[in-house]
Amino acid sequence: MIQVDGLSKIYRVAEKQPGFAGTLRHFLRRRTRDVVAVQDVSFQIEPGEMVGFLGANGAGKTTTLKMLCGLIHPSSGRVQVGGFSPQRRQAEFLRRITLVMGQKQQLLWDLPPMDSLRVNAAVYGIPDGVARRRISELADLLELGEELTRPVRKLSLGQRMKAELLAALLHEPEVLFLDEPTLGLDVNAQARVRKFLAEYNRRTGATVLLTSHYMADITALCPRVLLIHQGRLFHDGPLEALAEQLAPEREVRLELESPVAPDALEGLGRLEQLEGCDVRLLVPRDQLTAVVAQLLDRFPVRDLDVTDPPIEELIGGLFRQGRV
Amino acid sequence: MRIFGLNRRIIRVLLGSQYAHMLEYRAEIALWALSGVLPFIMLSIWSGSDARSGLGLDGVALDRYFLSAYLVRQFSVVWVVYAFEEDALLGRLSPYLLQPLHPLWRYVAAHLGEQLTRLPFAALIAVVFFAVQPQAFWLPSLGGFLLAWLATWMAFAIAFLFQSLIATLCFWSEKASALERLQFIPFVFLSGLLAPLTAFPPAVRAWAQWTPFPYLIDFPARVLAGQPVDLIAGFGAQLAWIAVLLPLVLLLWRAGVRRYSAMGA
C-alpha cells in the first residue's frame, strides 16, 4: 500500500544571530543553511498494517508523513501510496487518504462539528444517507453524541479531537496518517481514541501509520514500528525486536524474606540495587529463565517481578548516548 | 460535474455553512459595514466644495454615485490574503490542501457568506441615507439592477483574484499581506471611492483605465446609479482582467504548492 524508496527532504532555513547587530546583518546579508529533515528513508507498508512511527522531536516523523500524504514535495526519492504519487494530489488519491495532525483542526471553530461534517460529505461526494449512517456509526464508536451539535469552541480538547477524527474518517479512507492523534488528551480520552483506531482498522482494513509521543499508543496499536533519528531510519520491525535491540537485558526485582550480602547474588546478572530486602538485577534475556529459577531456589523470595525498562527511556537513552 | 472540485451540492453546503459561520460574527460585520462610510464622507466634502462642478455630476447624481459606491464596496470587499496568510502560518491550510476541492473555493464561500451577512446592514444604511436625502431616492430598473449586480460580482471576482495572486506569494514569503497594502493607495484613488473617475485629469483617467481599479467601484457604481456608462467597454475590461488574473493565480498556486512546507503543522 505504501512504498517509500530513498526518500529525502532538505529544508532551506534562514539563520539569524540575536540582537540588533544580528538583525542588521540578517537584513543586509541573509544567510541560509540546508537542514536535512529526512535522509534516504525506505520502507514498505502492506494493506491493513498498523505501523508506529517513533522518534524524538525533530527526528523527521512529521516531515515524512507530510510527504506521504502529498502535503510537501520530497527533495529526492520516490513515494507511492495506493499506486498514486502523493505530491500530484489527484482527487482520487485524496479520497483514499486522510491526515490527522494533533490539535490542528479542520472543523469550523464557531459552528457545531455537524456543519463541518456536512461540508466534508459534500466535498467527498458521499450521498446524504450514507453520510448520516457513517456519522452515526463513527459517533457511536467514538462515544460522541450531542457534542456534534455544539459549537466546536465549546467542546473539550478530547471531544474536539474525537470530532476531528470523525471528520477525517467520514470518507472511509484506506490510508490513515495520524500525527500525534492523542496529543494533550487525558488518559481516558487517549484510551478511547486508541480503542477506536483499533476498531476502525479491524472493521475497514485501513492501513495506519501513526506517530505518537505516548508509547502506550504504539504498544497498544502497532505490532510494527519504524524508528527514525536525525532523518534516518534506524529500525523497522516488531516493537519487541526494538526493545531487544535497545535493551538486551531485562530487569528483575526481588523482595526477599531477609537481607542478603551482595556476594550471594554474584553470577545472577548485574546487581543494580540492593537495599535491605529489595534487590534489582539486570539479567541478559537469554539467561532470564535460568537466573529466575536459581533465585527462587536459593533465596526465600516474597515477591518477584520481571519487566522491560520503559521503551521511552530506552529510546531516550539511546539518543542521549548517541548510539544512533 | 466538478469545476476545480466544485459542484452544486458543494456550493449549497459550503455557502450554508459559511453563512452560518459569518452570522456568528454579525456584530463585527455590522461594524465593518458601518466603517465603510468613506464614500459618504467624500460626498459631504464634495457637496460643500466649489470643485464639485469638475466632477461632471450634479447634486442628485453625485448623491446616487456615492451611495452606489458604498453599496458596491460592501459587496466587493476582499480579505482573502489575510485569511489565507493566517491559515498558512497556523497550519490550517494543510487539511484543506488534502481535500478534493481547491482551497480557494472555501475563501470564496466565506466571502459570499460575509456579503450575505452584510446585506441587511448595508440596506439599513441605504434606508437611512434616503431618509436624510429623500431627493436622491431612486429605484433602478430590473435590467439596470441585474447589470449592476453582475458588474459588482465581477468587481468582486477581480478583487478576489488580485488578492489571491498576492496570497499565493505566502508560499514564498510569510508576510505577503504587506504587498496588499502597497496597492491600497492606488485603489483608493483610482477606484472611484474618493471621487468619480471623471474628477481626474484626462491623462490620469486614461492611465487608470489600464489598471483594474476603475472596474472595482467606479464602473459598477455608475451602472447601479443609472448614469451613462459604456457597458460593453466596462464589462469587456472586467472580463479581460478576470481572464488575465485567473490563469496567473492558478499558475502561481501550482508553483507555490510545490514550495509549501506546511508550517505550524
Most confident of A31-35, B33-37, B70-74: B70-74
B62 occurs within a structural domain: yes
> How far is residue A253's CA from residue A100's CA, in Å, rounded to a whole number?
40
Is pLDDT above 90 for B199? no
> How far is residue B145's CA from residue B151's CA, in Å, rounded to a whole number?
10
Which residues of chain B have a Cβ shorter than 8 Å from any chain A Cβ?
Answer: 5, 9-10, 12-14, 16-17, 20-21, 24-25, 90-92, 94-101, 257-258, 260-262, 264-265
Mean pLDDT of B61-75: 93
Write out A178-242 in H/E/C secondary structure: EECCCCCCCHHHHHHHHHHHHHHHHHHCCEEEEECCCHHHHHHHCCEEEEEECCEEEEEEEHHHH
B30 occurs within a structural domain: no
For A144-168, what is each residue's pLDDT tens digit? 889 999 999 999 888 888 898 899 9
B193 occurs within a structural domain: yes
Q: Does the CA dihedral B139-B142-B148-B149 come out positive or negative?
A: positive
CB contact under 8 A, B95 and A106: yes
Domain(s) labelled CATH 3.30.70.1560 in chain A stretch across 248-307
Question: Higher model confidence: residue B265 or residue B76?
Answer: B76
**In this predicted structure, what is the pLDDT of residue A47?**
94
Mean pLDDT of A79-105: 88
From chain A, the residues in CB contact with B96 under 8 A are 106
CB contact under 8 A, A89 and B98: yes
CB contact under 8 A, A94 and B100: yes
- Measure B200 CA to nearest chain A CA, in Å: 40
Q: Which of residues 24-43 of A touch B (CB under 8 A)?
A: none
Q: Give the lowest-confidence range in A187-201, B144-158, B197-211.
A: A187-201
**In this predicted structure, what is the pLDDT of residue A313?**
66
CB contact under 8 A, A101 and B17: no
- Measure A123 CA to nearest chain B CA, in Å: 6
B12 occurs within a structural domain: no
**In this predicted structure, what is the pLDDT of residue B100?**
92
Mean model confidence pLDDT for chain A:
86
- Measure B178 CA to nearest chain A CA, in Å: 17
B96 occurs within a structural domain: yes
pLDDT-based confidence at residue B54 (cuts at 50, 70, 90): confident
Query: pLDDT exceeding 90 applies to what percent of chain A?
Result: 34
Range of the domain at B55: 37-100+120-259
Q: Give the lowest-confidence range in A213-222, A264-273, A303-312, B192-201.
A: A303-312
- Measure B112 CA to nearest chain A CA, in Å: 16
Q: Which of B98, B253, B257, B258 to mutate to test the interface with A (most CBs of A within 10 A)?
A: B98
Nearest by CB: A104 against B24, B92, B257: B92
**Which class is A2-243 in CATH?**
alpha beta
What ipTM was predicted for this assembly? Answer: 0.83
Q: Does A51 touch chain B (CB under 8 A)?
A: no
**In this predicted structure, what is the pLDDT of residue A34?**
84
Q: Cell 470523525 maps to which residue?
A: A166
For A230-266, what is each residue's pLDDT tens digit? 889 988 988 877 777 777 778 888 898 888 888 888 8
Nearest by CB: B98 against A62, A69, A108: A69
Interacting residues of A311 by C-beta distance below 8 A, sequence separation 6+: A215, A218, A219, A239, A242, A243, A246
Is pLDDT above 80 for B3? no
Is pLDDT above 70 for A94? yes
Nearest by CB: A115 against B20, B90, B261: B20
**In this predicted structure, what is the pLDDT of residue B125?**
93
Q: Give the lowest-confidence range in A102-106, A144-148, B79-83.
A: A102-106
Q: Which of B99, B108, B174 to mutate to test the interface with A (most CBs of A within 10 A)?
A: B99
pLDDT-based confidence at residue A309 (cuts at 50, 70, 90): low
Mean model confidence pLDDT for chain B:
89
B231 occurs within a structural domain: yes
B194 occurs within a structural domain: yes
For B93-102, what is each residue's pLDDT tens digit? 888 999 999 9
Mean pLDDT of B117-138: 93
Is pLDDT above 90 for B263? no
Sequence-separated contacts (24+) of B248-253 with Cβ below 8 Å: B248/B161, B248/B165, B249/B104, B249/B161, B249/B164, B249/B165, B249/B168, B252/B165, B252/B168, B252/B169, B253/B104, B253/B164, B253/B168
- Measure B214 CA to nearest chain A CA, in Å: 36
Nearest by CB: B100 against A119, A121, A124: A124
B241 occurs within a structural domain: yes
Annotate A94-109 with DSSP letters as a single string. HTTEEEEETT---S-T
From chain B, the residues in CB contact with A111 under 8 A are 17, 20-21, 24
**In this predicted structure, what is the pLDDT of residue A31?**
79
From chain A, the residues in CB contact with B25 under 8 A are 110
Per the CB < 8 A criterion, the answer to whether A2 and A47 are in contact is no
Domain count, chain B: 1
- Measure A4 CA to nearest chain B CA, in Å: 19
Q: How many CB atoms within 10 Å of residue B164?
A: 23
Q: Does A120 touch chain B (CB under 8 A)?
A: yes
Mean pLDDT of A220-230: 89
CB contact under 8 A, A66 and B262: yes
Domain range A248-307, CATH architecture: 2-Layer Sandwich (3.30)
Closest residue on chain B to A111 (Cα): B21
